[in-house]
Amino acid sequence: MIKFPKDFYFGSSTSAEQSEGRFEGDKKALTTWDKFYEVDKYKFYDLIGPSKTSSVYRRYKEDIDLYKKTGHSAFRTSISWARLIPDESGIVNEKAVAFYKDYFTRLKEENIEVMVNLFHFDMPLYLEEKYGGFVSKEVVYKYVEYAKTCFSLFSDIVKIWFTFNEPIVSVECGYLLQYHYPMEVDAKKATQVAYNMQLASSMATKEFHKIVKDGKIGIILNLTPAYPRSNNKYDIKAANIAELFASKSFLDPSVLGKYPDELINICKKHDILPEYTNDELEIIENNTVDILGINYYQPLRVSAKANMPNPEAEFMPSYYYDPYIMPGRRINKYRGWEIYPEGIYDIAMNIKKNYNNIPYIISENGMGVEDEKRFKKDGIIQDDYRIEFFKEHLEYLHKGIKEGSNCFGYLVWTGIDCWSWLNSYKNRYGLIELDLETSNRIIKKSGYWFNELNKNKGF
């Protein structure tokens, strides 16, 4: 039997924008996702936008009961900035305060450790339209004020905090690849947004330690180990550069307090260095995180460029590498992602060796599958494929822990099927099925298995 420590957390993660919903009179402001859906709803699968979620704002009490039945000892969600502070006055929405206080308190009372993230891709629209979001330093300062408000309001209940979820996704998808609003292709803006988000994270970390004396704060990063096609030195060089952008651009300043020199030199070469000050770099250096959240879904496989890049094209990190599709790879055909459980072990060893063995939690790991109703038997989705996915990843995570990696928990994406950005409900990830028509929740086979996992602290 594979056993985990007695105090090891098992649970799930979601986000405010993907689960809470919006209801008449709740005073939640619009986010960039509302705007994105308004201007280009055809990008969203089945034309389902951010207003159709699992309605956690109204159903959280019922959901907490389901989390107990599926073996949660921890649960990670986010606070909606647009709900808590619905306009630029900075005045808090008391309805939001009441909701979050009750939500978090009830989780705590059920012995479910609540972990709260401050920003999960959901920029308030009023800040995007006036300042351009994190392109602007003004929004950095507004984020820090928002963070301080959250710490002051909820740190008596919440002891584990995160500043951002997957900030590199906001950078790449919003300013290079056009998957998130504002759908721009501008490398200079991309690096400025990346730098400003890191600065905001470091400044919030500084304020956290002034306000909260009995908690921990970190940042959640989607770490995708970059594997070279071969041992050829140019493939290896390509993989190293890919990892600079995909992982080290936030991992190094967040944990070590400094950006990699090679990354700085590449940005200089392409004239995309962000605007910064030495005082800001000092803040980043002196306010590293206490813990890490690590999201892992798939590896990044690359090779040396087959052709010279077009000098007239907008800079992309792939200027230095080509994506590589490994022959014979295992793949989740519904999502198009490679399944490579060994990657979670490689991340564990990297964190141990190169990042001071900082304590971390696997904050997302999961498998999205389309049309899961096909697998329903006697009213329950028989998602054995998801159980096997979890088991394989947990085996490699356990191997990393046995070898000294400092992991304190494993959270799956997600508890209850949730709305998922442009994919809407195309692929389902939950331990608990959501009926889109009735909003009813039904525990899947994986949910019952997960309950046994936590009960036994292993399998």
Q: For 363-389, how does the pLDDT look when each residue is reduced to its tens digit (9 = 90+)?
A: 999 999 999 999 999 999 999 999 999
Q: For 188-202, how does the pLDDT look when each residue is reduced to its tens digit (9 = 90+)?
A: 999 999 999 999 999
Catalytically annotated residue among 17, 20, 128, 166:
166
Question: What does residue 445 show for φ and ψ, rounded to 5 degrees?
Answer: -55, -40
Angstrom distances, CA of residue 412 to CA of 9, 18, 281, 291? 11, 15, 34, 18
* Amino acid letter, residue 220: I
Cβ contact 393:407 at 8 Å = no
pLDDT attached to residue 389 = 98
Cβ contact 298:338 at 8 Å = yes
Percent of the chain with pLDDT over 90: 98
Q: For 165-220, how does the pLDDT look when each residue is reduced to its tens digit (9 = 90+)?
A: 999 999 999 999 999 999 999 999 999 999 999 999 999 999 999 999 999 999 99
Confidence of residue 413 (pLDDT cuts 50, 70, 90): very high
Per-residue pLDDT, averaged over 66-90, amounts to 97
Cβ contact 451:70 at 8 Å = yes
Within 331-444, residue ranges assigned H as helices are 342-354, 384-402
CA 351/CA 297 separation, integer angstroms: 17
Q: For 13-39, how does the pLDDT look when each residue is reduced to its tens digit (9 = 90+)?
A: 999 999 999 999 999 999 999 999 999
Q: Which of 458, 316, 437, 444 has the alpha carbon at shortest distance from 395?
A: 458
pLDDT attached to residue 247 = 97
Per-residue pLDDT, averaged over 236-241, amounts to 98
Give 207: exposed, middle or buried? Use CB within 10 Å, 0-12, 13-18, 19+.
middle
CA 8/CA 68 separation, integer angstroms: 16
364 is a catalytic site residue: yes
CA 31/CA 412 separation, integer angstroms: 26
* Amino acid letter, residue 92: V
CA 282/CA 280 separation, integer angstroms: 5
CA 31/CA 423 separation, integer angstroms: 18
Per-residue pLDDT, averaged over 254-279, amounts to 98
138 is a catalytic site residue: no
Cβ contact 257:177 at 8 Å = no
pLDDT attached to residue 314 = 96
Per-residue pLDDT, averaged over 393-397, amounts to 98
pLDDT attached to residue 138 = 98
Q: For 133-157, how does the pLDDT look when each residue is reduced to its tens digit (9 = 90+)?
A: 999 999 999 999 999 999 999 999 9
Q: What is the dihedral of CA 225, 229, 231, 234, to 10 degrees?
A: -90
3-state secondary structure 136-190: CHHHHHHHHHHHHHHHHHHCCCCCEEEEEECHHHHHHHHHCCCCCCCCCCCHHHH
Q: Which residues pair with 420 in a beta bridge?
A: 424
pLDDT of 335 > 90? The answer is no
Q: Which residues pair with 369 in a beta bridge?
A: 428
Cβ contact 96:80 at 8 Å = yes
pLDDT attached to residue 361 = 98
Ordered structural domains, the chain, with CATH: 9-456 (3.20.20.80)
pTM exceeds 0.75 for this model: yes
Catalytically annotated residue among 243, 364, 372, 433:
364
Q: Which residues pair with 2 in a beta bridge?
A: none
> In whole angstroms, how large is the CA radius of gyration of the chain?
21
